[in-house]
Structure 1
Amino acid sequence: MFPIKDNIPCRTTPVMNYAVIVITSAAFLMQLAEPAGGPSLVEEYGMIPSRITDPSKEVTVVVEQGYVMTPLGPQLQQVTREAAPAAVPAILTMVTCVFLHGGWMHFLGNMWFLHIFGDNVEDRLGHVGYLAFYLVGGALASLVHLLSEPGSTVPTIGASGAIAAVMGAYFVWYPHAHIKAIVPIFIVLYPIVLPAAVFLGIWFLIQFFQGAASISGTQAAGVAWWAHVGGFGAGYLIAGLLGRTHAVRETNPARRADVDSLPSIRFRRPR
């Protein structure tokens, strides 16, 4: 499922959410401009778990790779070098990694989810509170990934964990919001409206079961699923401690009508 919009208007301009998107975009453009083969921002600012748990462990990166023919058939050969040292204390990379991404789809998908869900959470927390929440959520998501793979030498990057924290808070504060989403059914993209609690609940379960599969070995590594799970859980708990909001005030009839005009799944609100 891919979200298109929600029906909850903001009372204030989400300037901090925009600022996070701009800063993350600037960091991604810097990544694109890096020369191939040299030290990268991912090496310097990405979170490499072993740098925190075992600083003496050597970290290498692949510079070149390809297949060569041998008497036993094609064999993968790699040229590696020692990774560039972290540009900040290793513990801080749990936060700096949030601003880096691994490609266009990774970057665009994350920024779109942040655009959809971040504005209302900022509206609830205020500008400064939202920034603190975003950074803490990202750090806690990194911590959960660190605990799941403490000896890994693979850099962890991406805003997904911090955005998952935002989604966890949205789940608590706006459970009855309506999310307009696109659901792929075979080759057709089908638009539908779901309560936020259902949309986010399904998203969380997907992350959880993918994470479980990665631990069991039935799912190939490559995505930090437990960072997503940890971020969502952190956001849920923090929002719960700050106070639950059961009712959603929908003060923009045009926006509500636009979302509600599609097929929807609805649940009765508790009295």
Structure 2
Amino acid sequence: MFPIRDHNPSGRIPYVTYMLMAANIGIFLSYVALFNDPSALNGFFFVYAAIPARISAGDGFGTLISSMFLHGGWMHLIGNMLFLWIFGDNIEDEMGHIPFLIFYLVAGIAAGLIQVISAPGSDIPTVGASGAIAGVMGSYLLLFPKARVDILLILIIFIRIFPIPAWIMLAVWFGMQFVGGIGTDVSAGGVAYWAHAGGFVAGLVLTLPLWLRRGGVGFWRRTHGHPPHPEAVYASSRIPKVRR
């Protein structure tokens, strides 16, 4: 189940979202050749990735930022940029360009620190924009819980696009991160579940002042959880049902 777009158009050009996407893609392209040389790639990640044991020892705090712009492969990058493209523009629209940039970086740093706390002795490098983007998703849940998100559902021979409320998609995603964090050995590497869950909660908490300025529960009553403007309308999906 993959989100491919929302029905929540932004009222201004999301320059910061585009800039963040360009930075992530550009930086990845600058070192993608290192994937052919594991030794060189490990050396690169040792310098710029967030290593919990190193940070726990009081060193490498700058990697909490640099690691946000590194990715472990093409699918890692594409997945993160898809989520940032879907949800980032609306949060930037509500916060403003510079506040959104600060919010993104702070959420990413918080996610990195939570990952360090979850496995303080781990020497496995942590990379990816996932923690910061999880913060954007937490913010989206608070501001637009009933905005419609189009989901691409693939069940073996059944392929369909259909809309669901954002809160369902985001709650399922958060639940998967939380369960994944409980059910895996964090120090063994793999997906940084606690960074994702922590970034999500951090983004939600950081958005509370904005939500309260909008009226808090009153904002939800006025908008019924939907975007406070007309939703985008898309043509019906042309993706066919694939029969046996």
TM over 0.5: yes
Q: Tell me the residue number matched to 2:72.
A: 102
Q: Tell me the residue number matched to 2:23.
A: 23
> What is the CA-CA distance between 1:216 and the residue it aligns to?
9.2
Q: Tell me the residue number matched to 1:214.
A: 184
Structure with greater proportional helix content: 2
Unaligned runs of 5+ in 2: 240-244
Q: Match of 2:90, as an amino acid?
A: N
> What is the CA-CA distance between 1:261 and the residue it aligns to?
11
Question: 1:242 aligned to 2:210?
Answer: yes
Secondary structure of the equivalent of 2:178?
helix
Structure with greater proportional strand content: 1
Secondary structure of the equivalent of 2:55?
helix
> What is the CA-CA distance between 1:93 and the residue it aligns to?
0.8
> What is the CA-CA distance between 1:260 and the residue it aligns to?
10
Q: Tell me the residue number matched to 2:230.
A: 251
Secondary structure of the equivalent of 2:62?
helix
Question: 1:136 aligned to 2:111?
Answer: no
Question: What value does the CA root-mean-square deviation take over the aligned residues?
Answer: 2.3
Q: Tell me the residue number matched to 2:63.
A: 93
Q: Match of 1:5, as an amino acid?
A: R
Pairwise mapping of residues 118-133 of structure 1 onto structure 2 (< 5 A)? 118-133=88-103
Q: Which string of whole-angstrom CA distances, capped at 9 and with x for unpartnered residues, describes residues 96-155 of structure 1?
A: 100000000000000011000000000011000110000000000001100000000000
Distance 1:6 1:151, change over 3 A: same
For residues 126 and 258 of structure 1, the distance between their equivalents in structure 2, rounded to whole angstroms, comes to: 30
For residues 45 and 216 of structure 1, the distance between their equivalents in structure 2, rounded to whole angstroms, comes to: 20
> Normalising to structure 1: TM-score of the pair?
0.77
> What is the CA-CA distance between 1:190 and the residue it aligns to?
2.6
Instruction: Tell me if structure 1 keeps the 8 A contact 2:124–2:189.
Output: no
For residues 98 and 180 of structure 1, the distance between their equivalents in structure 2, rounded to whole angstroms, comes to: 27
Work out which of the two has the higher radius of gyration on C-alpha atoms and give 1 or 2.
1
Instruction: Tell me if structure 2 keeps the 8 A contact 1:17–1:122.
Output: yes
Question: 1:205 aligned to 2:175?
Answer: yes
Distance 1:216 1:234, change over 3 A: closer
Pairwise mapping of residues 1-271 of structure 1 onto structure 2 (< 5 A)? 1-34=1-34, 36=37, 37-38=39-40, 40-54=43-57, 90-215=60-185, 221-243=189-211, 244=216, 245-246=219-220, 247=223, 248-251=227-230, 255-258=232-235
> Normalising to structure 2: TM-score of the pair?
0.85
> What is the CA-CA distance between 1:258 and the residue it aligns to?
3.9
Distance 1:164 1:259, change over 3 A: farther
Instruction: Tell me if structure 2 keeps the 8 A contact 1:178–1:195.
Output: yes
Instruction: Tell me if structure 2 keeps the 8 A contact 1:11–1:123.
Output: yes
Instruction: Tell me if structure 2 keeps the 8 A contact 1:179–1:259.
Output: no
Q: Match of 1:167, as an amino acid?
A: M
> What is the CA-CA distance between 1:188 and the residue it aligns to?
2.5
> What is the CA-CA distance between 1:237 and the residue it aligns to?
0.9
> What is the CA-CA distance between 1:92 and the residue it aligns to?
1.3
| Residues paired across the two proteins, number | 225
